[in-house]
Homo-oligomer: A and B are copies of this chain.
């Protein structure tokens, strides 16, 4: 089953997908680290630290789930990464038209 799905991705597509995935991940992580840095530099109260702690709890859960590389859900993941601004559809241009169309449709949902 899993092999069937992976077989739908040519070697070029797999490489493109991997690279785009990694790029989006690096961008989101960099932005997150920067955001945490900016937040802590302005922190004066313990309550603000616990707010940051709550934020990190949610973020950790979200990121762990989102960056689970899995061909079964990859089009959906890419659409979300595009919607959130971590990836551009053009960076996936080496994918076949059908996949690109699906991703584009998902970003409009």
CB pair A33 B37 closer than 8 Å = no
Chain B residues near A52 (CB-CB < 8 A): 56
Number of copies: 2
Bound Cα distance from A50 to B58, whole angstroms: 12
Measured CB to CB, the nearest residue on chain B to A36 is B40
Measured CB to CB, the nearest residue on chain B to A48 is B33
Measured CB to CB, the nearest residue on chain B to A57 is B53
Measured CB to CB, the nearest residue on chain B to A52 is B56
| A18 interfacial by beta-carbon distance below 8 Å | no
Chain B residues near A56 (CB-CB < 8 A): 49-50, 52-53, 56
Bound Cα distance from A29 to B45, whole angstroms: 8
| A43 interfacial by beta-carbon distance below 8 Å | yes
Top 6 A-B pairs ranked by shortest CB distance? A53-B56, A40-B40, A37-B40, A29-B46, A36-B40, A33-B43
